[in-house]
Amino acid sequence: MVFLWNGTTSGVKVPNGDWIAADREGLTICDATSAAFAMDLPWDKLDVTTFSWQKVLGGEAAHGMLILSPRAVARLESHTPAWPMPKIFRMTKGGKIVDGIFEGETINTPSMVAVEDYLDALTWAESVGGLKGLIQRSNDNLKALEDWSAKSGWCGFLAEDRAVRSNTSVCLKVTDPWFAALSDEAKTEAAKKIASILDKEGVALDIAGYRAAPPGLRIWCGATVDKADIQALTPWLDWAWAQVKQQTQQ
């Protein structure tokens, strides 16, 4: 069983872990890259969870973290793959988990500057209220966009159901009836123009929707972003949309 707790492509999250059986025989594998430190995760239902500290904590990229449940450890110690395992992927020796992997021992040499950056990020996280504070900051950022969207008249959420709407990678779509009448190519071009205009103005960087998603915008609302900055962004979104609509109609 593999699932995403937060989908950065569509801005959708899994609302809870109630659907995961407590007496399951298999392992629940969760990619929580954009959810860790921003959402409550049902740890009793997750066996293998991965995340990167580059997301909600804003740390250095290229580092992944792995969290294993006792059930996952038992699986590692009872199962021998039928194929050779590269050394970097081996977590057992002699049928037992290699505890050192989870106590600071490394196989390859990581960037210790990046590790120090992570520790600094955790110190900051504590200063804003720890896990509860981080979650609240992300929720507040999403709420700021929701309040604006309700009044914008042209923009809504790709995840229409708030119960499954991400509070980190927030994906927006254009709801203006005029936009719906455009060709798919024109819609894509219009959405790209909004992002491009804001980029050139130095207002927002890289907010174009994911290439595999419907035309729209994707705004990061993780805990490292201040609510005031999201609120300051919304008038610019309205302005950029008005510019693009006028140019497209000409």
183: tokens are 């060709």
pLDDT-derived band at 190, boundaries 50, 70, 90? very high
| C-beta atoms surrounding 223 within 10 Å | 28
Reply yes or no on whether the pLDDT at 198 is more than 80: yes
Reply yes or no on whether the pLDDT at 180 is more than 70: yes
Reply yes or no on whether the pLDDT at 75 is more than 90: yes
What per-residue confidence (pLDDT) applies to 217? 96
What per-residue confidence (pLDDT) applies to 146? 98
Instruction: Tell me the angle at which helices 184-200 and 227-249 cross, rounded to the nearest 10 degrees.
Output: 130
Instruction: Tell me the angle at which helices 112-127 and 130-152 cross, rounded to the nearest 10 degrees.
Output: 80
Mean pLDDT (the chain, rounded):
91
Phi, psi of 173 (to 5 degrees): -130, 155
CATH 3.40.640.10 fits 2-127, yes or no: yes
Percent of the chain with pLDDT over 90: 68
Reply yes or no on whether the pLDDT at 81 is more than 80: yes
HSE, side-chain direction, 13 A CA sphere, residue 134: 23
What per-residue confidence (pLDDT) applies to 72? 95
Reply yes or no on whether the pLDDT at 109 is more than 80: no
* pTM for the model: 0.90
Reply yes or no on whether the pLDDT at 98 is more than 70: yes
Reply yes or no on whether the pLDDT at 3 is more than 80: no
What per-residue confidence (pLDDT) applies to 7? 74
How far is 19 from 212, CA to CA, in rounded Å? 28
Question: Would you kindly state where each structural domain of the chain is located, as residue ranges?
Answer: 2-127, 130-249
Per the CB < 8 A criterion, the answer to whether 138 and 119 are in contact is no
DSSP bridge pairs for 62:
none
What per-residue confidence (pLDDT) applies to 86? 87
What per-residue confidence (pLDDT) applies to 1? 67
With H, G, I as helix, E, B as strand and everything else as coil, classify residue 208.
Answer: strand
Reply yes or no on whether the pLDDT at 205 is more than 70: yes
57: tokens are 């904590």
What per-residue confidence (pLDDT) applies to 36? 94
CATH 2.60.40.10 fits 130-249, yes or no: no
